[in-house]
């Protein structure tokens, strides 16, 4: 080949097949016999030919990239490894197929006079044909992202529960709610009667859903929440919440937080105020991030299968692209992980 | 030219310049003198040569994506938000220019008979022309990634110190070492005489560098490390290290860890063993991840400007792509952040 870079035509010639057949093999599209496929791959290997992404994209309109837009302030993002776990799961499915993950981190709030940064990111991904699909996270009440992506012609899958019964592709754990119910049972079983809940932002679908599960589980035991506070997933918000709870004359003996970062920040703030955890106050988190095992006392928490959710979401997209069979990936149900931050209610000890 | 279609090589030959120079003129990239440009255009015109649209697209089409390959097990990745902070910084520069970050998470170890997963990822990014450049992290001793990327023709920038004085584009904080020196001064000033160091893996350039800074800073005060342990950045490794240190009859009164996750895990393990922090043992971390503020006692640590490092790395790549001026981004020097996990040495209290 005298130094010239081999082309798809060279591969087709050596394999004795048409350029279209090589293209089919490369793009994994259309029917092609095993023998032809073998001949094409052997020829490509002999010539050391690899199709460029741009060339493949031109022929097949696939970019072999999946997009994910994380709408969080960079600070919050790094404090909460939630996304890292989702990404691990997504990458686990994409990597073997040679797909990449195109990540955009955008702020929570648009600048003055600017469009919503997440929406702008999707428009750009679509306009520039950067991705074959996107993974959406943090289902919000009144979410308009699916309508937008449908308009833009971009495949999408949601990690979580859609805000209404839209025919929207989404992945969720089986047995949703089982973890929070187990947490309530664990506390009530240890004699707790005054149990508080500190939620995330109100616009999240899971905030509303989880609080209802919490209230229903208490009601099933003839109890009501002692307090129900809305917070914002930040450490500062958790410290404010725990301070308010502990200042109350009828303070709770146990608190559930909507994520682990808030739970650890709240637990630490309580100990700094001289409150023994779990002697005087039991604390439960949500997600089971590695953080919970690093601290002392180790955090009791509701484990979410975030890696499984990421894998399942990637599979839905890859199936819609014809890359894999549409077999659902199992996402383990949430479960309670009991560690050191919960114990008997103080009035029983 | 006897009916044969002229090629870029013919144009270069007639103009008396390199093929690369013709390419530069065609793609409007890189610096080229007006005279050379004139000669190329004249030759192209004489030969009636026009670059094919596809060829131009392949050579000049920017992918507007930057790659980053994180070589960590997914577990370790999510336990250590180091990468999240770097990514925040990188995204902060890429987003306004419409660039995305293509992230690949690969395992630390290749499968049996498989090539190194990080190397394989770079080869794929290059072969498929997926990115305009890559950010490398975790400079390693004997690092061959730059040679590989040079061979592959991929722009690269390293976050950290190259392992030898290679002419490798890299970004580093000014005043490297100042944070660890301040940590040693802080401890010695509080009467500590037995100070231990728990490092990360030995193949990292920063492991060797930081340990030397630590030893030199102690030596300047007439002291030597009481212990020097090599660990692996994991919580389990940190727990093993702290257990070994506390079991020693002449145990240290202060310990520096090479990252915050190890420091928090070590601190928690010490408290679980009934050791008061900082009353009996002072603990210092490295990086200043959000984690350190969540825990009780809050972690004293050496702050690294990871967001600034990410921004600086992105700017170097964007400048090499002609997207921004090559003005260096300031990366703040490491500094000691004193919180609650350090105090006077126990024999002085």
CATH node for B8-60: 1.10.260
Contact B113, B300 (CB under 8 A): no
**Per-residue b or e along B89-108, where b marks 16 or more CB atoms closer than 10 Å to that residue's CB:** bbbbbbbeeebbbbbbbbee
pLDDT tens digits for B13-50? Answer: 889 888 778 777 766 556 677 788 778 878 877 887 76
pLDDT at residue number A292: 93
Contacts of residue A295 in chain B, CB cutoff 8 Å?
264, 268, 294-295
Contacts of residue B291 in chain A, CB cutoff 8 Å?
79, 291, 294
B267 to A102: CB separation less than 8 angstroms, yes or no:
no
pLDDT at residue number A60: 43
pLDDT at residue number B114: 74
Check if A65-174+307-320 and A178-305 are the same fold. Answer: yes
> So where are chain A's domains?
8-60, 65-174+307-320, 178-305
Which architecture, in CATH terms, is A178-305? Answer: 3-Layer(aba) Sandwich (3.40)
* Model confidence at B58: pLDDT above 60: no
Question: Which candidate from B88, B129, B130 shows the least CB-CB separation from A77?
Answer: B88
* Model confidence at B348: pLDDT above 60: no
To the nearest whole Å, the CA of B87 is away from the closest chain A CA by 9
* Model confidence at B166: pLDDT above 70: no
> How is residue B287 written in tokens?
């990086």
pLDDT tens digits for A57-114? Answer: 444 456 788 999 887 665 555 556 677 788 888 988 887 787 888 887 776 667 677 7
| From the candidate CATH numbers 3.40.50.2300, 3.40.190.10, 3.40.50.700, 3.80.10.10, the one assigned to the domain spanning B65-173+307-320 | 3.40.50.2300
B105 to A87: CB separation less than 8 angstroms, yes or no:
yes
Q: How far apart are CA B123 and CA B120, in angstroms?
A: 5
Q: How far apart are CA A302 and CA B288, in angstroms?
A: 27
* Model confidence at B86: pLDDT above 90: no
Give Dmax (Cα) for chain B. Answer: 95
**For strand A282-287 and strand A300-303, is the pairing parallel, antiparallel, or unpaired?**
parallel
B101 to A103: CB separation less than 8 angstroms, yes or no:
yes
Contacts of residue B63 in chain A, CB cutoff 8 Å?
53-54
Tell me how many degrees the CA angle B197-B85-A197 measures, rounded to the nearest 5.
95
Question: How many residues appear in chain A?
Answer: 349
Say what the alpha-carbon torsion angle A329, A334, A339, A345 is, to the nearest 10 degrees: 180
Q: How far apart are CA A55 and CA A61, in angstroms?
A: 9
Q: How far apart are CA A49 and CA A10, in angstroms?
A: 9
Which chain A residue lies closest to B84 (C-alpha atoms)?
A78
Low-confidence ranges of chain A (pLDDT < 70): 1-5, 26-31, 50-62, 72-81, 107-109, 111, 165-167, 348-349
Return the SS3 of B283.
strand
pLDDT at residue number B21: 80
A293 to B235: CB separation less than 8 angstroms, yes or no:
yes
Q: ipTM higher than 0.95?
A: no
To the nearest whole Å, the CA of A211 is away from the closest chain B CA by 24
Q: How far apart are CA B289 and CA B268, in angstroms?
A: 16
CATH node for B178-304: 3.40.50.2300
Contacts of residue B75 in chain A, CB cutoff 8 Å?
290
Q: Do you find a cis peptide bond into B278, omega within 30 degrees of 0? A: yes
Q: Which residue of A59, A78, A88 is the best one to mutate when testing the B interface, meaning the one whose CB has the most B CBs within 10 A?
A: A78
Contacts of residue A106 in chain B, CB cutoff 8 Å?
95
* Model confidence at B76: pLDDT above 60: no
Q: How far apart are CA B61 and CA A128, in angstroms?
A: 12
Contacts of residue A56 in chain B, CB cutoff 8 Å?
128
| From the candidate CATH numbers 3.40.50.80, 1.10.580.10, 3.40.50.2300, 3.40.720.10, the one assigned to the domain spanning A65-174+307-320 | 3.40.50.2300
């Amino acid at each position: 080949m005298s130094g010239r870079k081999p082309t798809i035509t060279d591969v087709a010639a050596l394999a004795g097949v048409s350029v279209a057949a090589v293209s089919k093999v490369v793009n994994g599209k259309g029917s092609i016999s095993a023998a032809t496929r073998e001949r094409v791959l052997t020829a490509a290997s002999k010539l050391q030919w690899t199709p460029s992404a741009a060339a493949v994209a031109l022929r097949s309109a696939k970019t072999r990239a999946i997009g994910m837009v994380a709408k969080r302030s960079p600070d919050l993002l790094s404090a909460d490894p939630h996304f890292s776990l989702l990404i691990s799961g997504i990458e686990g499915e994409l990597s073997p197929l040679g797909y990449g993950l195109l990540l955009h981190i955008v702020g929570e709030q648009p600048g003055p006079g600017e469009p919503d940064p997440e929406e702008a990111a999707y428009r750009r991904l679509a306009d520039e044909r950067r991705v074959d699909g996107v993974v959406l996270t943090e289902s919000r009440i009144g979410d308009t992202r699916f309508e937008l992506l449908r308009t833009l012609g971009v495949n999408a899958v949601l990690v979580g529960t859609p805000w209404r019964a839209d025919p929207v592709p989404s992945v969720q754990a089986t047995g949703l709610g089982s973890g929070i119910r187990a947490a309530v049972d664990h506390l009530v079983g240890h004699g707790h009667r005054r149990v508080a809940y500190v939620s995330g932002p109100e616009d999240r679908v899971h905030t509303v859903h989880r609080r209802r599960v919490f209230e229903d589980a208490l009601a099933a035991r003839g109890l009501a929440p002692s307090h129900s506070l809305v917070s914002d997933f930040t450490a500062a918000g958790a410290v404010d919440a725990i301070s308010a709870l502990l200042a109350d004359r009828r303070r709770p003996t146990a608190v559930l937080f909507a994520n682990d970062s808030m739970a650890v920040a709240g637990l630490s703030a309580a100990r700094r105020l001289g409150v023994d955890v779990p002697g005087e106050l039991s604390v439960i988190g949500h997600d089971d991030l590695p953080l919970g095992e690093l601290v002392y006392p180790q955090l009791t928490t509701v484990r979410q299968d975030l890696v499984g959710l990421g894998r399942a979401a990637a599979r839905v997209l890859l199936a819609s692209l014809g890359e894999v069979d549409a077999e659902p990936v199992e996402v383990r149900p949430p479960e309670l992980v009991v560690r050191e931050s919960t114990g008997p209610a103080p009035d029983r000890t």
